[in-house]
Amino acid sequence: MTFGEIQPGGGGGAWIQIAHIVALTIIASGVLQNLLHLAQLIVAAGAIRARPPVVDAALLRERYGKIAPPISVIAPAYNEEVTIIASARSMLSLRYPAFDVIIVNDGSTDSTLGLLSEEFRLVKVQRPLALLLPHRPVRAVYRSLVAERLWVIDKENGGKADAQNAGISLSQSMLFCIVDGDTILEPDALIRGVVPFLDEPDRTIAVGGRLRVANGLDVRDGQVNDIRVTDKFLQRVQILEYLRSFVLNRLAWSRVNALMIISGAFGLFRRDVVMEIGGYKQGSLAEDLDIVIRLHAHMMEQKRDYRIDFVPEPMCWTEVPQSLRVLARQRARWQNGALECFFQNAKMTLNPRYGRIGFLGFGHLLVMDVVSPLLEVLGYLTIPAFWYFGMLSHVHLIAFAAIVFGLGTFTSIASLMLAEFQLRPYLAPGDLAKLGSAAILENFGYRQLHNFWRLRGWWHYLTSQNSWGEMPRLGFQSD
């Protein structure tokens, strides 16, 4: 017996109307999201065709090496004893004409500073650190006796943004590169990332780069060897998420100059422009999203011509969560941070004053980060129930399932194909098969779980829960 049959012509009719409205809203939102993904796929493919990746970085060094400006590589580090030595080696091994490395020990309570001191023979130096940007007090500044490019700042704990500001204050280069203290940089990351600054020196103010997942890979002397795809499902789906995020999303938005985020794991910035906006915002849960939004607002409000670009070639490797518990905490925090940045800058949403950023950038944030998890979880809970009680037809249920499972799979497979055919990240057929199977299976359980994590992020935002918690690391395999 259906719900309508229980209450014919009475309250059941009203409930059926409500069910239809809810279902159509959820389905329309899903269609809009997938249309956005399709548009991004087309734009990203066009971007790669317009600027094909340079496979041999030696050509870039030959062309740009003599005019490449000095760069300061800044790496905040808090309790990174498991990965800090491998990360430092990779930074010092960069193939770039002129750079220095500034590691900011942000009040670590483990042996991060001790390991750096032992490995690189650090000595304290009397280099005054001007308070150009706000940050917590600095205890000491060190320099390496065996790696002249390496500086280490030891400061009181203030968070990632605070540590980044301390590093920027110490740097003296026109450009600085922000990396995470647990990343492994590609040797040619800087020469690839600096190209947009050299091609359009008056317009380019920031450049992002692509991350790849390093879990389970062989890392020796700060470099990744024997690239392969892990057998662990949880890490494979994160590889797919990174492909969608960087190859699809960020490449497409940079093409239309509406890129809204540059990952804190790798980003190049013009120091003078970052100084103009006061550096990174202390206490922000998503400092990488926040600073790009503020750069857009600053440049548009001053009516200055500018560009924030993205380079799709791999720039660095990072360790991702290896348990559901840690991954859930990370994704809830990401959601919390995205909501914080969106609502703090809500005036820009669909605001003609901010042009493409107001309509495309903030429109995308509104659909994908603000509305999407709410409506999708609502769909999981209501549409099957409405159908079971006869309040919705089979068409509604099939349409919802097609959006969640069919189009979700298509987006993942299309992103993988675009990355493989254009950027060649994984050459072995077995690796492609692993990722292809994960692209299908992730829609049956993992996607739903992920959206519940994002819903938890919504709850954390509404209740002002801003704690991060620890992310246990196993370190890179050979190190």
Instruction: Work out the burial of residue 476: count CB atoms within 10 Å of its CB; fewer than 13 is exposed, 13-18 middle, 19 or more buried.
Output: buried
Residue pair 410/30 in contact (Cβ under 8 Å)? The answer is: no
pLDDT confidence of residue 9: 41
Give, in order, the Cα–Cα distances in Å from 24 to each of 19, 371, 393, 427: 9, 15, 12, 42
Structure tokens at 145: 């006796």
Domains of the chain: 10-48+354-462 (no CATH), 55-324 (3.90.550.10)
pLDDT confidence of residue 243: 85
Question: Using CA atoms, how far apart are residues 158 and 153, in angstroms rounded to an integer?
Answer: 13
Q: Are strands 122-125 and 99-106 parallel, antiparallel or unpaired?
A: unpaired
Q: Identify the CA nearest to 319 among candidates 219, 404, 447, 425.
A: 219
Helix 446-462 crosses helix 324-344 at what angle (to 10 degrees)?
Answer: 50
Structure tokens at 39: 């548009």
Residues of the chain with pLDDT under 50: 1-10, 479
Instruction: Work out the burial of residue 118: count CB atoms within 10 Å of its CB; fewer than 13 is exposed, 13-18 middle, 19 or more buried.
Output: exposed
Residue 339, classed as helix, strand or coil, is helix
Residue pair 78/107 in contact (Cβ under 8 Å)? The answer is: yes
pLDDT tens digit sequence for 175-221: 999 998 888 888 999 999 999 999 999 999 999 998 888 887 777 76
pLDDT confidence of residue 426: 54
Dihedral sign, CA of 420, 421, 427, 429?
positive
Give, in order, the Cα–Cα distances in Å from 448 to each of 1, 34, 340, 377: 30, 16, 23, 7
- Chain centroid to Cα 7, Å, comes to 51
Q: Count other Cβ atoms within 10 Å, centred on residue 64.
A: 19
3-state percent helix, strand, coil for the chain, nearest multiple of 5: 55, 15, 30
* Phi, psi dihedral angles at 101 (to 5 degrees): -120, 125
Question: Using CA atoms, how far apart are residues 265 and 332, in angstroms rounded to an integer?
Answer: 19
| Half-sphere exposure of residue 395: CA atoms within 13 angstroms, side-chain side | 2
386: which residues sit within 8 A by CB, 6+ positions away?
19, 22, 23, 392, 396
pLDDT confidence of residue 328: 95
pLDDT confidence of residue 1: 36
pLDDT confidence of residue 14: 85
Rg (CA), the chain: 24
